[in-house]
Structure 1
């Protein structure tokens, strides 16, 4: 039975993967499919981006244009609801509480919030440790890593502290990959990038994000040439799990073979 683990690395710029020591990220690119030129959405901030990731809609359609949740005027089922209605079990492990609104009530089998505690060396580690026992039990797992974005706001994107935090995430990612069940495909993406100590603009540094796929059926070292954005995540996950798509979704199903 196929499973999917999706990881958001909040605020990760693609060029940070070259500037920092990132052997795990590089291995995923060598052994899987990837692009370093995927697109975020406007405004390129966390909650609108995640609503687009899980509902395959741009902000002007889902209506969330800040980090304050607003219900849709014309509701569209998100990925978690689609999976639930198909009998799939999903889980969500995260450190930023507003993300609770990307899933409607009763759509998750497991939900664990471990609030960010102003310690970038520990916060994401706690989230990873909470998620690891469940990955082999759930059909779909969402794991949110937020510390790179936090350090970007404090010290600046591409600063020495920011690059050190990217290296910390690389080490955590190594733990995840080492324990990844053989039937599980890993998808990894950033919601947005950043510049100076901010993001949310149309600056390419804010709007360009990495995407990687690794696992069963994913071609080794395949560079994804076609344009892609956050909107492709939900339909791609649903297709990988053999679930029909929500008709209102605007993204495409990506193929990695």
Structure 2
């Protein structure tokens, strides 16, 4: 299997600009305005209009409107129309048409067909999935469209008032005249929208996971409990679908190890964010990765990979190009431009090669076919269960290969998801139904057998638990408690209990 090329790494970052909702909104609004006006706008007036509307763009960048909060976006839109009496049917039709084209045909059909081999007829299903989508991406229809409509109408109103259009009569004096005529009204509107957005989040945004306040302190690292830890992440695996799937080997690992029923992901539940929390032991506000769109490369706190390196040990994260943005040289990447029916087969085959070559103390493997199936075909369809079944067979093959190679001895295996997936296009980010709790099992010679843990835990416990098992210090900002209840008496020769 090929590694991710430099082109793919750059392309993945560019795609995130359009995929992540925060960055998509301003890019799409300005693009629609230019297209609708035939790219014949006056540059000076366009720049002045952008300067005037910039505070409103910033407000909509700062404030997500997760889940049911998105319905509050209708109020500022209605208020602006009522105050300004400004409406532009043609502009909004352009916005709606281009948005439908981007999501349903470009993203949902062409992009998925070229990248993972989804059918050319995917548009016949995916349009329905987008209407159910509630995540933090550009595909969140009922969050993006109110934001887009408001920003477009405000921008068009300002631009027209400056003399660039026919919808609003231009005041005398150009930009200075606009400030004199409309500045106070507009400034008041922006201030009210800002306060309104803050209040909505303060009063109604109540489902963000509660964080551990203290540093990891429920265990002291001593001698290693295991020789090696292997973490297999089934990206985007929804917990209840995992439990419904035909997965006999993973069920065997559950029965002979420890399974967590309330292992919670972090907010926002985006892949790079979750991996960063999993392997630093802390939250986005500390490790600095707030979405898949990474503005400053690298987590800004120590990771478990750093701690292993300091102790003369080695950790390898075998994953997609996005994860390089968080963990840099610790990532051995694979290309995600591959048919979805074979991508995990190639990932697991290459993982064997890396294990032989590097012999790491910590090996992390990201499997992506389940996640991609959820995004392209939906989580509530048979294809999603089939991909979990395929993951089960591939993990069994890898596990048996480790056994034959003598790698499995004194090795702890963790199988988990970084986040779940919501209804619709299998979105994740806002912690909708199906996103919050993830499958998590741990198995090995020093792990309890046949235990089910029903108390709440968090994926930030992964890094300190790995450190505890391998006998290295916790990462410096680690907050997750070690999963000590899963660790029992060691039966293998040569490993200290």
- Relative contact order, CA 8 A, sep 6+: which one is greater? 1
1:98-128 per-position Cα deviation (integer Å, ceiling 9, x unaligned): 11133244xx4xx532212341221111111
The aligned counterpart of 1:228 is 457
1:74 Cα deviation after fit:
9.2
Structure-1-length-normalised TM-score: 0.92
The aligned counterpart of 1:192 is 419
Pick closer, same or farther for the CA change 1:237–1:121 going to 2, 3 Å.
Answer: same
The aligned counterpart of 1:120 is 340
1:18-47 per-position Cα deviation (integer Å, ceiling 9, x unaligned): 322110111111011111321011111111
**Contact in 1 for aligned 2:242/2:439 (Cα 8 Å):** no
The aligned counterpart of 2:283 is 58
Pick closer, same or farther for the CA change 1:112–1:204 going to 2, 3 Å.
Answer: same
**Following the alignment from structure 1 to structure 2, what is the Cα–Cα distance between the partners of residues 204 and 61?**
26
SS at match of 2:332: strand
1:70 Cα deviation after fit:
3.8
Alignment of 1:14-163 (within 5 A): 14-71=239-296, 75-94=300-319, 96-105=320-329, 108=330, 111-135=331-355, 137-163=359-385
Pick closer, same or farther for the CA change 1:71–1:54 going to 2, 3 Å.
Answer: farther
Pick closer, same or farther for the CA change 1:118–1:46 going to 2, 3 Å.
Answer: same
- Structure showing the higher strand proportion among its residues: 1
Larger radius of gyration: 2
Alignment partner of 1:238 is 2:458? no
1:63-115 per-position Cα deviation (integer Å, ceiling 9, x unaligned): 21211224489931111111101110122222x2011133244xx4xx53221
**Following the alignment from structure 2 to structure 1, what is the Cα–Cα distance between the partners of residues 412 and 273?**
25
1:34-63 per-position Cα deviation (integer Å, ceiling 9, x unaligned): 113210111111111111111111112222
- Structure showing the higher helix proportion among its residues: 2
The aligned counterpart of 2:439 is 210
Which of 386, 391, 404 aligns to 1:164? It is: 386
Q: Which moved more, 1:78-87 or 1:112-121?
A: 112-121
**Contact in 1 for aligned 2:318/2:333 (Cα 8 Å):** yes
**Following the alignment from structure 2 to structure 1, what is the Cα–Cα distance between the partners of residues 431 and 241?**
19
SS at match of 2:266: coil
Unaligned runs of 5+ in 1: none
Pick closer, same or farther for the CA change 1:73–1:6 going to 2, 3 Å.
Answer: closer
Pick closer, same or farther for the CA change 1:14–1:74 going to 2, 3 Å.
Answer: closer
SS at match of 2:455: coil
**Contact in 2 for aligned 1:5/1:135 (Cα 8 Å):** no
**Contact in 2 for aligned 1:81/1:103 (Cα 8 Å):** no
**Following the alignment from structure 1 to structure 2, what is the Cα–Cα distance between the partners of residues 47 and 32?**
28
Alignment partner of 1:179 is 2:404? no
**Following the alignment from structure 1 to structure 2, what is the Cα–Cα distance between the partners of residues 163 and 89?**
34
| Deviating 4+ runs (over 6 angstroms) | none
Structure-2-length-normalised TM-score: 0.49
Q: In angstroms, what is the RMSD of aligned CA positions? A: 1.9
**Contact in 2 for aligned 1:49/1:191 (Cα 8 Å):** yes
SS at match of 2:435: helix
**Following the alignment from structure 2 to structure 1, what is the Cα–Cα distance between the partners of residues 364 and 376?**
26
SS at match of 1:15: helix
**Following the alignment from structure 1 to structure 2, what is the Cα–Cα distance between the partners of residues 135 and 141?**
8
Alignment partner of 1:251 is 2:476? no
The aligned counterpart of 1:12 is 237
**Contact in 1 for aligned 2:419/2:435 (Cα 8 Å):** yes
**Contact in 2 for aligned 1:51/1:62 (Cα 8 Å):** yes
**Following the alignment from structure 1 to structure 2, what is the Cα–Cα distance between the partners of residues 73 and 89?**
18
Pick closer, same or farther for the CA change 1:102–1:183 going to 2, 3 Å.
Answer: farther
